Amino acid sequence: MNPRRRLLWIIWAFVFLTGCIHNDEIVLTEEPSEDDPLMTATTIDVLFSDSGKIQAHLTSPLLKKYTGEDPCTEFPKGFHLIVFDSVLRPSTTITGNYGKNRDAARIMEARGNVVVRNLLKNKQLETERLIWDENKHLLYSDGKVKITEPAKILFGNGIQANESFTWYKIINPTGQMMVKKDSV
């Protein structure tokens, strides 16, 4: 190829290729602060496992991960958690309109229409705020609670329960309750 033709090809390629580049200026108006999330994810679907066995399934429309002195994972648009038993049957579900997991402390807080269901025992807990202490394997709340079982509905102003919701203790029970004569 002669030098003149080569030069025309180079000019043509340069004009053509640079014409396709969109060169908007990116301006960072302020540095990210410690209050900004390190990571944000939408429509998450996560399986948790231990030694190859699935333990739980978590879904959420939005996840925000924070670092710093008290690292946490936040679910500002709600979450749905399914916990599986040893034979991979769904045993417990927990849902809420907001969730926050303090990673280092291993404490999860759920707020807003919190519902815990023990699917194996057909029990359900409803409250507005619930704390799950993963280290102690306990659920607790200091707010109003409603517990629904096949034969009864119980109300109270607080609860302590194991994380599978097979055992619980209502703090300050309220409402009417049936009591057998010989149990008083």
| Beta pairing class for 145-149 and 123-133 | antiparallel
Whether 20 maps to a domain, the answer reads: no
- DSSP labels, 123-156: EEEEEEEEEEETTTTEEEESS-EEEEETTEEEEE
Query: Residue 119 and residue 95: Cα distance in Å, rounded?
Result: 13
Q: What is the pLDDT of residues 28-86, one digit of tens each?
A: 445 666 678 888 999 999 998 888 889 889 999 999 999 888 899 999 999 999 989 88
Number of domains in the chain: 1
Helix (H/G/I), strand (E/B), else coil: 11: helix
Whether 182 maps to a domain, the answer reads: no
Whether 2 maps to a domain, the answer reads: no
The range of the structural domain enclosing residue 141 comes to 36-176
Q: What is the pLDDT of residues 129-183, one digit of tens each?
A: 999 898 998 999 999 999 998 888 899 999 998 877 778 899 988 866 666 777 6
Cα-to-chain-centroid distance, residue 72: 11
Whichever domain contains 130, its CATH number is 2.60.450.10
Whether 125 maps to a domain, the answer reads: yes
In sequence order, which residues have a C-beta less than 8 Å from that of residue 22 and are 6 or more positions away? none
